[in-house]
Amino acid sequence: MTEGLIAPHGGELIINMAAEAERAELQEHAKSLSQIVIGSRQLADLEMLAIGAYSPLGGFMTREDYLGVVNDMHLSNGLPWSVPITLSVTSAQAEQIKVGQQVALVDTDGVVQAVMTVEEKYGYDKALEARKVYRTEDEAHPGVKVVYQQGEVLLGGPVRVLALQPQVFAEHRHTPSQARALFAERGWKRVVGFQTRNPVHRAHEYIQKCALETVDGLLLHPLVGDTKGDDIPADVRMQCYEVLLANYYPANRVILGVLPAAMRYAGPREAIFHALMRKNYGCSHFIVGRDHAGVGNYYGTYDAHYIFAEFDAAKLGITPMFFDHTFFCRTCDAMASAKTCPHSSDQHVTLSGTKVRQMLQAGEIPPREFSRPEVAQVLIAAMRNPRA
């Protein structure tokens, strides 16, 4: 553990990436193993397991951990954990797999990514998982849709990861160990993490800078794994973050990293999940804004704030920093929130996502009170030159 920084969840980083000698042995061994083809979410989960971002997990969840997480948001050892990390197979596949055997997890090209020891195989209630984790059984919810499309049997057991997917955004792809080393180099002990899957607009900038007033540094940590099809592509978002940091943030107090996890859109539960991952990266604090990890109208505006009260703060171990909806007030002539501004909403500069997209598509830069012009220019250029 890097001295002075918060301990990882469970006390130590659990690294499940095979070392070079072990990797060579497992590559050879994998040739004789049954193969399970995994998709992009499980590939992302493998990377998070490999680098220790999912500490204290050593693999995909066994039944006791799975049920503990689904039903009361705790692992069997009592540690808080809010989102299941699972590997599913069809009933037909499960019949061919014996408990205790090893299997090779391969990508769609047949490249071995990991070797898993199957400790358990078990059925599960998809509707229960949907209700508990996502608070809905509606298949229109992107997270619920994934659960319903999964196989009928879950495999649980430890993994040894042999390979990682192509490392896009390599210069910002810090593992938890590397992030902790960067914080230590800068002398940071109190670090606030910020989760985002969108470009940072003025409201986000405001709450980040409010948080920065009370800590040593900020980890701006956009998620770059799977997101919804209508979310802004990760490479465009990264350009937005880079121009924003270059022009409006002190370079010695911010680190831009990437989180290679997949979005679940689990709202309040995902706020806890995101906080615990950032704890593993070395963050002592975590920003929770309005409708964190939300989608549609499935969650209340501040449900992601309220859920933290359901946990023992000492076991959670990371301090949430709650922020209200923020905006620019013309009368205050400043960024503000309902907590700090007494003026009526007609003085507040707020734009819907639809309105912003319409402006950008027309080549119009939104008001400076809403978005930095440098960020808007990146988005306009992306919309004018969409990828095929």
247 catalytic per annotation: no
Catalytic residue among 198, 253, 290, 357: 198
Phi, psi at 260, each rounded to 5°? -85, 25
Strand partners, 122: 154
HSE value, Cβ hemisphere, 13 Å, CA-based, for 323: 23
Q: How far is CA 242 from CA 30, 172, 232, 283, 298, in A?
A: 41, 11, 15, 21, 32
- The neighbour count for residue 219, using CB atoms within 10 Å, is 25
Could you give the CA distance from residue 209 to residue 243 in angstroms, rounded to a whole number? Answer: 16
The answer to whether 197 is a known catalytic residue is yes
What does the DSSP 8-state code read for residue 119?
-
Give the C-alpha separation, 157 to 118, whole Å: 5
Q: Which is catalytic among the residues 41, 197, 237, 264? A: 197
- Burial grade of 240 (CB within 10 A; 0-12, 13-18, 19 or more): buried
CA distance 322 to 184: 26
> Which residues are the active-site residues?
197-198
